[in-house]
């Protein structure tokens, strides 16, 4: 993989597309073996996990059933993509199966790029993009998110959806800052570490996540750390009581309980301190536009 400093900075979308098309999409076992042990563990875990989940019903999963409580969050991400991906060069950072990159392409991104350490995820993403008819406006690469090798200042918008806790943020944040254009926006969606009951659940289900990710669920400390490179804007909190409704049987009873719980969440997640017990939060990172701020 080429070193970032050898690449031409600030490629336009056509130039970035051409650059990507000259790269190897999959980097092979030798590259994987060169990574830190925790990254190899992540790649192995998500290769297995993504292969399994393509045929998994989330309502029957011991873990993914909780995602049925995340509809307001999913709608928020969809709205953000509609606003920020349109006409943009977009990065789906640790893209998994490429769902959000495909959504960005459908939102008329000039180019939507997805990267992930998992080869299975990238193969899934490519297949999904072909099936969705957006192969021309999407590109997917197997890469290390902490050292992507992508050209600097290439992206207008980026989504980090449930993946920052998989990374060493001392490496990931400066890499993201390098990749984004001045004024570029990153939407970060992450689990939150303050709720002791959710933390207990994580401790009791060790096979559902890697050791690293369980130990690095985000708090506001990590958000403050991001301010070394970015402005932080538009912090929101989701899913305080609504995950409890997913324990009800599937069907009208659960759906009704979720609607009520989402209404309660819309109030409670605005209450300082209490909102820190939410399952998930979201915030935007904005790369400063130094020239406009008069900084030489």
Enter the pTM of the model: 0.90
φ/ψ of residue 147, rounded to 5: -155, 75
Antiparallel, parallel or unpaired: β 180-191 and 155-161: parallel
Look-up: residue for tokens 């790649």? 43
Note the pLDDT of residue 3.
46
pLDDT at 8: 47
Q: Which whole-number Å values give the CA distances from 228 to 102, 169, 183, 185, 287, in the listed order?
A: 31, 11, 15, 15, 10
CATH architecture, domain defined by 8-239+279-286: 3-Layer(aba) Sandwich (3.40)
Q: Where are the domains of the chain?
A: 8-239+279-286
> Cα–Cα distance between 60 and 62 in angstroms, integer?
7
How far, CA to CA in Å, does 168 sit from each of 78, 133, 215, 242? 27, 35, 11, 30
Predicted pLDDT at 14: 87
pLDDT score, position 62: 53
In whole angstroms, give the CA distance from residue 296 to residue 220.
31
Q: Rounded to whole angstroms, what are the CA distances from 10 to 16, 74, 128, 174?
A: 9, 31, 28, 17
Burial string for 90-118 (b: 16+ CB within 10 Å, else e) reads bbbbbbbbbbbbbbbbbbebbbbbbbbbb
Q: How high is the mean pLDDT in each 10-residue block of the chain (296 residues)?
A: 45 88 95 94 85 51 72 96 97 96 97 97 97 97 97 97 95 98 97 94 85 92 98 97 92 94 97 96 94 47
């Amino acid at each position: 993989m080429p070193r970032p400093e050898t690449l031409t900075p600030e490629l336009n979308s056509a130039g970035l597309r051409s650059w990507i098309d000259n790269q190897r999409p999959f980097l092979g076992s030798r590259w994987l073996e060169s990574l830190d042990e925790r990254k190899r563990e992540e790649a192995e875990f998500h290769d297995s996990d993504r292969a399994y989940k393509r045929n998994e019903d989330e309502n029957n999963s011991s873990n993914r059933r909780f995602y049925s409580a995340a509809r307001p969050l999913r709608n928020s991400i969809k709205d953000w993509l509609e606003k920020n991906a349109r006409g943009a060069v977009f990065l789906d950072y640790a893209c998994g199966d490429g769902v959000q990159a495909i959504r960005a392409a459908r939102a008329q991104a000039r180019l939507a790029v997805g990267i992930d350490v998992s080869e299975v995820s990238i193969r899934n993403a490519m297949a999904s993009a072909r099936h969705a008819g957006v192969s021309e406006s999407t590109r997917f690469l197997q890469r290390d998110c902490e050292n992507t090798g992508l050209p600097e200042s290439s992206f207008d918008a980026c989504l980090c959806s449930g993946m920052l806790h998989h990374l060493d943020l001392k490496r990931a944040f400066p890499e993201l800052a390098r990749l984004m254009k001045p004024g570029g926006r990153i939407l970060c969606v992450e689990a939150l570490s303050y709720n002791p009951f959710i933390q207990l659940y994580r401790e009791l289900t060790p096979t559902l996540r890697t050791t690293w990710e369980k130990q690095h669920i985000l708090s506001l400390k990590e958000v403050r750390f991001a301010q070394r490179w970015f402005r932080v804007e538009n912090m929101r909190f989701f899913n305080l009581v609504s995950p409890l409704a997913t324990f009800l049987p599937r069907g009208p009873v659960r759906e009704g309980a979720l609607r009520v719980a989402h209404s309660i969440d819309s109030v409670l997640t605005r209450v300082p301190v209490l909102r820190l017990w939410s399952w998930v939060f979201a915030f935007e990172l904005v790369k400063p536009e130094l020239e406009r701020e008069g900084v030489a």
